[in-house]
Structure 1
Amino acid sequence: MLKDILFLVVVFLTNIIQGITGFAGTVLAMPPGIFLQGIDTAKMVLNILGILASIWIVFISYKDIDWKEVRKILIFMIIGVALGIKLFTLLPLGFLLKVYAIFIVLIALKGILVKGEIYTPEIVLIGVIICAGIIHGMFVSGGPLIMIYVAKKLKSKSSFRATLSVVWIILNSYLAYSHYNQGIFTSTNINLLWMSIPPFALGMILGNILHYKMSQITFLKLSYVLLSISGIALIVK
């Protein structure tokens, strides 16, 4: 029961960040979610909440969507997601978790330490999209990598958030179908999902308010700090 309560607290806090940025909620929630509920439960519940969060953002920010970038991101991320799902079934879970933890720490350190714009060739950016898809297929956490691409292409924080949310609706729906076929939609997991809806909704409401009232840079830095702590916790587990 204590683990369930702690998981609900994680859902609330991380969806505040999701409401602000449109990308960081699931990747922040996944490491503690794995600790508290196991990887299958965490993936299933957080993926569905990610879909709901994205639908919420698209509904209130539809005019900010850049459909050209949505199409481009989806083409290459779908390739990566298919690869990620396959790799997850082939490689040992312990190894994947360590790689995942190192990945999120490196992304967090980049966000904290690297200042200003860095020139990145288009072919490298496409590679980043595919890699984001691979990570998303394995851990529903491609947001930090795809953020590298979107930050180069979209300068408005509202367009950034709304455009990514369309991508997550489509990709996470595909992942939900995959999870259903894998038998992850158990009655226990579905009950936890229902329990997660109230803290999720409250977190999204607060996050959306802060999105318009607070500095985006401040909350991105906060996301990166929390991300690094989560990754380190997985490494030393």
Structure 2
Amino acid sequence: MSAPAFALGAFILLAYTLEALTGFGSVVVALSLGALLMPVDRLLPILLPLNVALSGYLVCRHHRLIDTRLLFGSLLPGLLLGTLVGYLLLPWLDPALLKRGLGLLILWFAAREIRQLLAGNAPSGHTPGWVLRLASTAAGICHGLFASGGPLLVYALASQRLDKSRLRATLVSVWFSLNSLLSLAFLHDGRLLPALPRVLAYAPLLPLGLWLGERLHQRFAERQVRFAIHALLLLSGTLLLSPWSLT
């Protein structure tokens, strides 16, 4: 295995361990780090099927913890619409400019939430339904553009008072749904089949990432997991603003 291929494997293992721990972040972290090694349009057809496998397993394992009312009533309608809009707009927009704006928003939100956690403040009050649906649509657009809607969705869910396990289960059910649709779209437009050998090559990393993430999820307390989520947001925002992720 070449050095770049080995490095990409390490990035994928890190990213999917983080998703098994927190419920999001695998694609944005692996995409931003992997962009050091290959173009984004070649990375996505590799990362999305792997995410479908990971999130599908977590959905099956933790389906009883999914907040189905929140998922189907407030999240998925806007997310599905936004993902379709983002996918259709991708050829016409500048992804670098959009990533820069998303990175700035993520950094602002994550820094604010970490400051509140360090100060011992509780999460803010309940978000109105229309705000949650609007934020979910925006997250869907980001996901359709570059499969990185997680930070915005976490922002939308910040005041929903979900415990760490319900939050993770609800988030992974979202990624399983959206990334399955995007993988089918990549199959239709011809980008998926050439990437399948690499998908299969990296697939053995998923059980290890799942094992590590599950152990960390059980070991850490609620506040520690919330801090890890927002630290991951800080990392995601920084990576989205980095020069290599804006290409």
Same fold (TM over 0.5): yes
Match of 2:188 in 1: 181
Aligned pair 1:197/2:203, yes or no? Answer: yes
What's the TM-score once normalised by structure 1's chain length? 0.90
TM-score, length basis structure 2 = 0.87
Give the residue type in structure 2 aligned to 1:196.
Y
Equivalences for 1:114-133 in 2 at 5 Å?
A: 114=113, 115=116, 116=121, 117-118=123-124, 120-133=127-140
CA contact (8 A) 1:131 1:145 kept: yes
Q: Secondary structure at the match of 1:123?
A: helix
Which one-letter code corresponds to 1:37 in the other structure? M
Secondary structure of 2:203's counterpart equals helix
Are residues 1:100 and 2:107 paired? Answer: no
> Does the Cα contact within 8 Å between 2:54 and 2:210 map onto a contact in 1?
yes
User: What does residue 92 of structure 2 align with?
Assistant: 90
Aligned residue in 1 for 2:48: 47
Q: Which moved more, 1:104-113 or 1:209-218?
A: 104-113
> 2: CA distance between counterparts of 1:5 and 1:22?
25
Q: 1:225 to 1:151 in 2, by over 3 A?
A: closer
| Match status 1:157 vs 2:164 | yes
Structure 1 distance, partners of 2:188, 2:182, is 10
Residue 109 of structure 1 contacts residue 224 of structure 1 at CA under 8 Å; is this kept in 2? no
Whole-angstrom distance in 2 between the partners of 1:82 and 1:66: 23
Q: Secondary structure at the match of 1:152?
A: coil
1:160 is matched by which residue type in structure 2? L
Secondary structure at 1:141's aligned position in 2?
Answer: coil
Give the aligned partner of residue 142 of structure 1.
149
Contact 1:17 1:219 in 2 (8 A): no
List runs of 5+ in structure 2 lacking aligned partners. Answer: none
| Separation of aligned partners in 1, 2:193 and 2:212 | 30
- Residues 20, 210 of structure 1: 8 Å contact kept: yes
Where in structure 2 are the equivalents of 1:192-231 lying within 5 Å? 192-214=198-220, 215-231=224-240
Deviations 1:147-199 (A, max 9, x none): 12223224211111111211211111111111111111243x21111121122
Q: Does the C-alpha gap of structure 1 residues 59 and 151 become closer, same or farther in structure 2, counting only changes over 3 Å? A: same
CA RMSD of superposed structures (Å)? 1.9
CA–CA distance in structure 2, aligned partners of residues 128 and 236 of structure 1: 23
| Distance in 2 between residues matched to 1:5 and 1:49, nearest whole Å | 16
| Stretch deviating more after TM superposition (68-77 or 100-109) | 100-109
Report the CA distance between 1:236 and its aligned residue.
7.3
Deviation at 1:125, TM superposition (A): 2.0
Count of aligned pairs: 233
* Bigger mean CA offset, 131-140 vs 25-34: 25-34
1:12 is displaced (CA, Å) by 0.5
> What CA deviation, in whole Å up to 9, does each residue of 1:196-217 have, x standing for no partner?
1122321121011101111202
**Contact 1:23-1:164 within 8 A present in 2 as well:** yes
| 2-structure distance, mates of 1:134, 1:48 | 19
Deviations 1:128-152 (A, max 9, x none): 0000000011111111111122232
Structure 1 unaligned spans of 5+:
none
